[in-house]
Amino acid sequence: MEPREESIPLQRQVLLLLVLLCVYVSASEPGRFSVAEEMESRSSVGNVAKALGLEVGELSARGARITSKGKKQHLQLNIQTGDLLLKEKLDREELCGPADPCVLPFQILLENPLHIIPAELRVLDINDHAPMFPDSEMLLKIRENSPPESLFSLKNAIDLDVGINNVQNYTVNPSSHFRVHTRTRSDGRKYPELVLDKTLDREEQPEFALTLTAVDGGSPPKSGTAQIRVLVVDINDNTPVFAQPQYEVQIPEDSPIDSLVVTVSARDLDIGSNGEISYALIQSSEEISQTFKVNPFSGEIRLKKQVDFEMIQSYEVDIEATDGGGLSGKCTVRIHVMDLNDNPPELALSSLNSPIPEDSFQVVVAVFSISDRDSGDKGKMVCSIQDNVPFILKSSLENFYTLVTDGVLDREIRDEYNITITVTDLGSPRLKTEQNITVLISDVNDNSPVFTQTAYTLYLRENNSPAFYIGSVSASDRDWGSNAKVIYSLLPPKTGDLPLFSYISINSDNGHLYVLRSLDYEVIQAFQFTVRAADGGSPSLSSQALVQVLVEDENDNSPFVLYPLQNGTAPCNDLVPRAAEPGYLVTKVVAVDRDWGQNSWLSYQLTKATNPGLFTMWAHNGEVRTARPISDRDAIKQRLLVLVKDNGQPPLSTMATLNVLLVDGFSEPYLQLPDAPKEQAQTDSLTIYLVISLASVSFLFLVSVILFIAVHLWKRKKNATDGLQLRPNSSFPGHFVNVGGTGTLSQSYHYEVCLTNDSGTGEFKFLKPIIPSLPTQDSGRDLEESPPLQESFWLG
Ligand SMILES: *[C@@H]1O[C@H](CO)[C@@H](O)[C@H](O)[C@H]1NC(C)=O
Ligand SMILES: *[C@@H]1O[C@H](CO)[C@@H](O)[C@H](O)[C@H]1NC(C)=O
Ligand SMILES: *[C@@H]1O[C@H](CO)[C@@H](O)[C@H](O)[C@H]1NC(C)=O
Ligand SMILES: *[C@@H]1O[C@H](CO)[C@@H](O)[C@H](O)[C@H]1NC(C)=O
């Protein structure tokens, strides 16, 4: 098909040609024909013969034909009938487009004579096209606050038909807000306009879908539709609105910093920036802005610092929500702080009485008050101390307490109490406060000094230097300070026979004991006294202890020869008959030693003799016997020197001179006694008595020695069990065997022997044995157990 754009100028050319022809062929009658479009080909349009008023035969005779200058020929002439027939189907829209009427000019040419008759064919429109919208969908944006009756232009539909067959009416489907006006342009074309019936609200309905229908005027009418999408354009016509105008929240007072209090939320019905909300605190007070912060986007209210019920119980926070268009809304958040047990009790000590004396009874030691800042049960408190102390708590007023002693205090057991006062509240969790009080106990003089031993035994060697330290006593006092300061003193003896204070002194500070004088074992073997220890308290307390001093022997006495008398003035002569057999007992040297023990064990030795070999000396008993028969050559007067030696360290010795007369037959001994020449007979009997008594004494000694050994063995056994060793007890040396019933004294029985001279008869007096006995009745029982030998021998 040819495009219409080309056909239109073609038609104009044809028209121009026609106009020229009309001018040229002036009186020619135009032949008019019309036909509806879309008629079948070969259908008749009209009859040329009739139109020209010619006979049918005349047409062929005159050589009639149809011409259309240079254009496509749509018609053909039936020359026999004169009918004008369509060569083909005609489409008005193709031939003429929108031009109306659609006229196709042509000429009827008669050749004989030449005659050109212009003619035209009108193509009549039929409604063969429906209206069509160029776009099937239209988008329309309308601000939501546009006033009613506002008009919005729409694209029109296109209908290729013309005239009544073109678009006649536009309609839109029924809508609450819109209708369509059909307008007519100056050229008669119709176009639609959208009319707003009612104000739009985007928040109510943001979008409308309309169907626009264009209807033409054909019969039957044809229509075309298009969709209209109406978008309602938002304007900021809504303020933000909070979900709740008021929020009530509770937060515990221990909520940490940055913890969420509440999230507020506001809604804005607008969209876009008009609906974008930001939250902010309305600055009501410095305190609130320091305590809370709000997230502008999320509306979360968080803590900026810790809250404290004890300071502020509730807050009222105003929050503002602002949208992008500047509209704002407000809400109030009431924040209640919940009280928690977050305050421990407090304890205020108002007085402390320390130290307190140990004899205190129900004395107030401390006064204090307790308090708790929490409220309710959380602020109620109980107060206690530990159980194991002699103190109790007393409450006089509410929350006022006194700490009172309750029970026996003894500084010597415990001089300090750490008392922990515990105050606990009744909240949950329970909080407690502890306070430690140190109560010192001061001393009271309630303890006497105590000696380390109830009795002391001290040993001292005789012949000590004056002011000799012999030992010390010691007492301790469990008290403290001057109450524990011990002062030592000597108590005067109960029996006044010993001048104690001239013997002994004590250092009052340290209890050291000194012997003031040199002591002689041979004079005093033991003594005892009482020491006292007193403390410095007021009143002072004291105690006593017994001190026994045992004097130990030293070898300070040489043996003393009792017989024979060693005074030069009274020589003793022993008579030996010349007929004496060997082994004849000539005499016995009797010696004593005032020392004790080993120091008094004596041995005898013949050191010099007139006729050596005539006499022998028994070393251990002092017996002098003849060693051989006496010959005539032996001198009458024999002089023997005997060394008497004790067993001390070093040993002491004495020389004794022995005069022996060898006589023929046993006659009266020559005894020259200086002051008793007249009492010769008495002297003779004295000699006999002396011999008898010596023999009996020897016997007694034998018995005693056996007894001693028995006792000694028994005592050693006892000592071994007691662990007590009174004296050094060396074994008895063999060459000192002390038997034989002579006058030699054993180590156990120590005789003080002196030769008295008052009666002038050479009287031997065996005085009381020096038993180491103590001056008082409490003398050592060990010593008392020794069998005393209370015997006196009166000789002569
Ligand atoms: C257009 O159509 C509507 C609805 O069908 C009708 O009410 C109206 O009268 C018509 N307008 C014209 C000019 O025919
Ligand atoms: C009491 O506490 C003090 C320190 O506070 C301590 O030095 C002392 O040893 C304690 N005493 C007792 C008996 O616990
Ligand atoms: C109090 O004393 C107790 C036990 O001696 C100790 O455990 C505690 O820590 C002390 N309290 C204070 C506050 O010193
Ligand atoms: C002999 O000595 C003893 C002791 O030494 C003495 O007691 C006595 O008087 C003396 N006799 C004479 C006569 O000198």
Domains of the chain: 23-124 (2.60.40.60), 137-338 (2.60.40.60), 346-440 (2.60.40.60), 450-552 (2.60.40.60), 560-677+721-795 (2.60.40.60)
240 preceded by a cis bond (ω within 30 of 0): no
Indicate if ligand 4 lies below 6 Å from the C-beta of 569. yes
Match 């709740």 to its residue by tokens: 244
Q: State the pLDDT at residue 678.
A: 45
Task: Flag residues of the chain having pLDDT under 70.
Answer: 1-30, 496-497, 568-572, 665-686, 715-796
Q: 215 near 223, Cβ under 8 Å?
A: yes
Q: What is the Cα–Cα distance from 69 to 6, expressed in whole angstroms?
A: 16
Nearest CA to ligand 4 atom 4: 755
Q: Are 63 and 112 in contact (CB under 8 A)?
A: yes
What are the CA-CA distances from residue 602 to residues 520, 619, 740 (Å)? 21, 9, 14
188 CA to centre of ligand 1 in angstroms = 16
Burial of 311 from C-beta contacts in 10 A (0-12 / 13-18 / 19+): exposed
Tokens of 95: 């031939």
Predicted local distance difference test score (pLDDT) of residue 351:
93
Q: What distance in angstroms lies between residue 587's CA and the mean position of ligand 1's atoms?
A: 197
Best residue for ligand 1 mutational test, from 164, 168, 169, 213 (most atoms within 8 Å of Cβ): 169
Q: Is ligand 2 within 6 A of the CB of residue 416?
A: yes
**Residue closest by Cα to atom 5 of ligand 1:** 171
Q: Residue 612 is encoded by which pair of tokens?
A: 């050596």
Give yes or no for residue 685 CB within 6 A of ligand 4: no
Residue bearing tokens 């300071």: 311
Q: Which of 391, 418, 439, 440 to mutate to test the pocket of ligand 2 (most atoms within 8 A of CB)?
A: 418
pLDDT at 740: 32
Three-state secondary structure readout of 546-600: EEEEEEECCCCCCCEEEECCCCCCCCCEEEEECCCCCCCEEEECEEECCCCHHHH
Q: 570 CB under 6 A from ligand 4?
A: yes
Residue 573: how many CA atoms within 13 Å on its side-chain side? 18
User: Residue whose CA is closest, atom 1 of ligand 3?
Assistant: 436
Regarding the beta carbon of 43 and ligand 3, being less than 6 Å apart is answered no
How many Cβ atoms from other residues are within 10 Å of residue 272's Cβ?
A: 12
Helix runs in 235-346, H state only: 286-291
Residue whose CA lies nearest to ligand 4 atom number 8:
757
CA angle 317, 319, 320 (to 5 degrees): 155
| Closest residue CA from atom 13 of ligand 1 | 169
* Atom 14 in ligand 1: residue holding the nearest Cα: 169
- Kindly give the distance from the C-alpha atom of residue 38 to the centroid of ligand 1, in angstroms, as a whole number: 29
Atom of ligand 3 nearest to the CA of 436: 1
CA 418 / ligand 2 centre spacing (Å): 6
CA distance 648 to 733: 12
Q: Are 590 and 698 in contact (CB under 8 A)?
A: no
Instruction: Assess whether the C-beta atom of 434 lies below 6 angstroms from ligand 3.
Output: yes
757 ligand 4 Cβ < 6 A: yes
Ligand (nearest to CA of 571): 4
438 close to ligand 3 (CB < 6 Angstrom): no
According to DSSP, residue 632 is labeled: T
CB-defined site of ligand 1, < 6 Å: 169, 171
Q: Is this model's pTM higher than 0.85 or not? A: no
Nearest ligand, CA 420: 3
Q: Which residue type is seen at 379?
A: G
Query: Using an 8 Å Cβ cutoff, are 484 and 535 in contact?
Result: yes
Query: Quick count: other Cβ atoms within 10 Å of Cβ 420?
Result: 12
5: Cβ contacts below 8 Å, ≥ 6 apart: none
CA of residue 417 to ligand 3 center, whole Å: 12
The kind and range of the H/E element at 12 are helix 4-24
How far is ligand 3, taken at its centre, from the CA of residue 421, in Å?
10
Give the residue, by CA position, lying nearest to ligand 3 atom 4: 420
Q: Indicate which atom in ligand 3 lies nearest the CA of residue 435.
A: 13
Atom of ligand 4 nearest to the CA of 675: 13
386 lines ligand 2 (CB under 6 A): no
Q: Whose CA is nearest to atom 9 of ligand 1?
A: 169
DSSP letters for 435-489? EEEEEEEE--S----EES-SEEEEEEESSPPTTEEEEE--EE-SS-GGGG-EEEE
Residue by residue, what is the 3-state secondary structure of 319-384? EEEEECCCCEEEEEEEEEEECCCCCCCEEEEEEECCCEECCCCCCEEEEEEEECCCCHHHHCEEEE
Locate tokens 């030992």: which residue?
471
